[in-house]
Amino acid sequence: MKKILSQLSDVQVVPVITIHDTNDALPMAEALLKGGCNVVEITLRSDAAIPAIKTIIKNMPDMVVGVGTVITTDQIDQCADIGADFIVTPGTSARLAEHLVKSAIPAIPGISTAGEAVTLLEYGFEVQKFFPAEANGGIPALKALSGPLPQITFMPTGGIKADMVRDYLDIPSVVAVGGSWVVDKKSLATQNWAQITLNAQKAKSL
C-alpha cells in the first residue's frame, strides 16, 4: 500500500472513469498521460470496464490502474486476477473487508461515517475513501472526521469539482481526491482526447 500511497500523493487528483466502449480505453489513457496524470480509477459500472482495464494494463505499463465500485468478493478476486494495481470500494461490508484483508491487492475501502472508519481501522485499513464526499458534508465533515482519527489518510470522492480540489487537498489527512470531471462524460462520448489532456493538465496544476 505504501507504493500506491506514494503514487496517489504524486498525482493528487485521480480521474474516476466509467467506460462504455473498450475502444476508448487506450486513447483515453494516452490523453491522461499526455496531461501528466498516470493514475486512474475505472469503475465497474459498465460491461466494458473489465476489458478496458485489461487493455490499459497490457498496453500501458506506466499507468497505475485502480478499479472502483468494487462491491463483491468475486470482483475483488477478478481485480487481482487481471493485475489491477489497487481496489476502491464505495462502501465496505464486514464480508468485503475480510476478503480485502485476505487479498494481496492494495485496497482503499469506502466509508461515510466515523463508525465505519473505525471499523475499517480495526481491519488494518489506514487509507480510506470518504464517499460520497460532498453529499456527506464535504470539507467540514471530513475535517471533523480527521480530528479524532489522525491515523487515517483519506481519498475523498464524489461531487468534488475542480474549484474544490485545492481546499480538499489543504486538509492534512487528504492524500488525493477523486474527480469524474477530469474525464468528463461529454469529452469521452465525443472522443475529445485533447480536452481530456487539458483537463488532466488542469488537475495537475491544482
Which residues carry out catalysis? 41, 129
Q: Are β-strands 153-154 and 127-130 bridged in parallel, bridged antiparallel, or unpaired?
A: parallel
Please check whether residue 27 is in contact with residue 56, taking contact to mean a CB–CB distance below 8 angstroms.
Answer: no
Sign, CA dihedral 44-29-200-168, equals positive
Q: What are phi and psi of 90, to 5 degrees?
A: -80, -30
Please check whether residue 31 is in contact with residue 51, taking contact to mean a CB–CB distance below 8 angstroms.
Answer: no
In Å, what is the CA distance from 129 to each residue of 65, 91, 120, 125, 183?
A: 16, 9, 11, 10, 20
DSSP class of 17: E
DSSP class of 159: S
Please check whether residue 91 is in contact with residue 72, taking contact to mean a CB–CB distance below 8 angstroms.
Answer: no
Grid coordinates representing 180? Answer: 469524474
HSE value, Cβ hemisphere, 13 Å, CA-based, for 59 = 14
